[in-house]
Structure 1
Amino acid sequence: MTDQPTTVAGVLQHRALVTELPGPRSRALMERKTAAVASGVGTTMPVFAAKAGGGVVVDVDGNHLIDLGSGIAVTTVGNSAPRVVEAVQAQVAAFTHTCFMVTPYDGYVAVAEALNRLTPGDHDKRTALFNSGAEAVENAVKIARVATGKDAVVVFDHAYHGRTNLTMAMTAKNMPYKHGFGPFAPEVYRAPLSYPFRDDKTVGGQAAAARALDLVEKQVGAENLAAMVIEPIQGEGGFIEPAPGFLPALAAWCRENGVVFVADEVQTGFARTGDLFACHHEGVVPDLIVTAKGIAGGLPLAAVTGRADLMDAVHAGGLGGTYGGNPLACAAALAALETIEADGLVDRARQVERLMKDRLHRLAADDARIGEVRGRGAMIAVELVEPGTTTPDAALTKEVAAAAHRAGVIVLTCGTHGNVLRFLPPLTITDDLLHEALDVLADVLGATR
């Protein structure tokens, strides 16, 4: 740690615990939350935020927490990023809402133009804006069905696509996302993913794609399939990065068979993985790409961007929503995109990857419970297993995360088996904060042996 930590948005970039966690004010607020908020709305940590800036969240008791979650990959450009704050303040003083479908405004158009330019492929594109990742995924399916005249949708093992009825059907994990909420939307089929840690070592990307496509052809049929939807690196499912060649093979099959290939980049987009979009890594050009989370520096916004012929297949009025492309969120998105470019955050994501993987691989070399370190950019995960096996250890994962939380480091868990620690630091986080957070993780892992 440096002697004089920097300040971002008035927040010192250091870890400091002035009370136990949770502190007395957070405990009092949790009592109010329990009495007022539906119990189905859970929280990862029982501490309440008072302010945040850069890579630090300050709670109501004055504790400074290192943020390795970014609000689940949302504050990629850092919390309270200066350009985002300035842009939103200017917009809120002008107007807060008119509904783009009633009296449009240029911010929406400018965001669409930017996404058309920045997303993979140099073909003619169109964009529609929405509120959330799930809403955008659902609209991508709507677009694909209208454009192809077909109904079926293929998704993959361990997938997470949202909490609406259709996207719950597309999501793999039962608890807590699907349990008790059915019946779900029909015509959704699931194919096996490439999962290098758990696949037979002879199953590379091409072989894994052939396995998945054989199932699709036999159980669904290309003539019935409107869309294939996949996360280039899975998020909630465990930060699973398919073997090289898997995504290109799927995309090629879709092109050959008139199936719309949809990349769900809700969690991977906007420099998170060390490329502006994760599809860039293997040169995959999706027909439709779904974005949200990191798009607007913390404000709710999502988008579907894709081939003009597909996007324009829907009749006028068939896409939209009252708040979709809200002017405040559009202003924030333009500022977030400017920040990514001006501050070199794609390169910064790669620096974060090198720093984190170097330390995590060293930890793994001395700890057989770390089955795999994986991910790209500032989207890194550790899969915890019973020593010397691939058997998931969800109890250890929960214990490690809880201990890190008590020590003032925000970490998240994920994975179908609940045994993956995931790290999503903002790209503006300092090296000092990353080193200290990893020191905490090392201490916690050591204490659980």
Structure 2
Amino acid sequence: MEKEQEVNENKQELNENKKEAHEKLQGNLLIGQGGGPTSVINASLAGILSKAKQNEGIHNIFGLQNGLEGIFVKELFTLSKEDDEFIEKLKYTPGAILGSSSYKVDDPDKEAELIKFFKDNNIKYFIYIGGQDSMKSLDHISKVAKKSEYDLKVIGVPKAIDNDIPITDHCPGYASAARFIAESTIGAGRDLEATKSYDDVAIMEVMGRNSGWLAAASSLGRKTVDDAPHLIYLPEKEFNEEKFLQDVKEIYEELQFIFIVISEGIKDTEGKLIADKDPEGPAKYLTKLLYQEMGLKGRVHKLGAMQRSFAFSTSQIDVDEAFMVGQQAVTDLENGWSDIMITLDRASGKDYYVVTGRTHLAEAIKETKNMPKYLINPEGNFVTYAYYQYAYPLLGKELPNLARLSGIPVILT
């Protein structure tokens, strides 16, 4: 309730402080993509282009090459003449077609060059698609422009596969990454189950330095107790090795195999990263631990960058929502907004439905959105049904419903 009240107060403040709408946009629009690519970051770009091309007051549409780095090496794409066929293909193109980077712009010595770039190119509007670091950079650029008395309107469009930006219900990019992880877990789990006569355990390591949203998604394809995953460990809960061994023992004794999913950022009871205990990463460390302590033979799955831009697991809902927030960014520019990030607000009710909203950039960068306690079971080794209710609607079409033998194994004489 406190979080809901905070969001409502934020929206009220936004409405009170809304800028006067422009009669007509006049100037050039700059678009950039920052941080890690996703399956749908280009869908947001497509949404921006489709809407901006309709506004005659936007004289030129430019794309930054390689994120904010493009400002300082002066590399731009001209996007104004891209046609509808290109925009439709762009919606389903993974990666970041403009090129991305994690380039920082908070050096005071760069401020004059930064503003000169915008002035020289008559850029009056800047939409930046990215995660929290990108929103921080966008907020900084806006402050530099104000200090320099340069009229620049900025709007952020969220993207984050690890779903860690606050205020918005979820981030474009998360649903497709979640679907990929769920499908990967289904397949890898069936593989382990088939080979349990010689492999005892598999540990899948997924992205998530501070939040466990991606690891949690591995649960979404689980339909029976045999199905993977059997245990999930998240950064939001401290990782106790003795409890871990006991968790594994209980499930292995029942199933004679076990599939475990961990976030890369899990920490021990002293707050130290498990990843720091082995140069090959936390999954490898825990595989060795299970062999040393229990004699279990295991394998490691590291999904790596495939989680971000695996196009063939893309959620159609994710594509549509990414496109929608891109379009909304242009609409909000037309209505005089600046210094905001577009959000996705979930409507209450039985059926899944979202609308776009907005929040101050300052609110979007204030903190990391971790998984709340009610989405994690009390034992800290799995998720609750409430997480399933939150995440499953984002995946789009149903996950595969696979066959299981119903007969009881018998020994023939």
TM-score above 0.5, yes or no: no
Shorter-chain TM-score bucket reads under 0.3
Q: Kindly name which structure, 1 or 2, has the bigger radius of gyration based on alpha carbons.
A: 2
> What TM-score do you get using the length of structure 1 for normalisation?
0.26
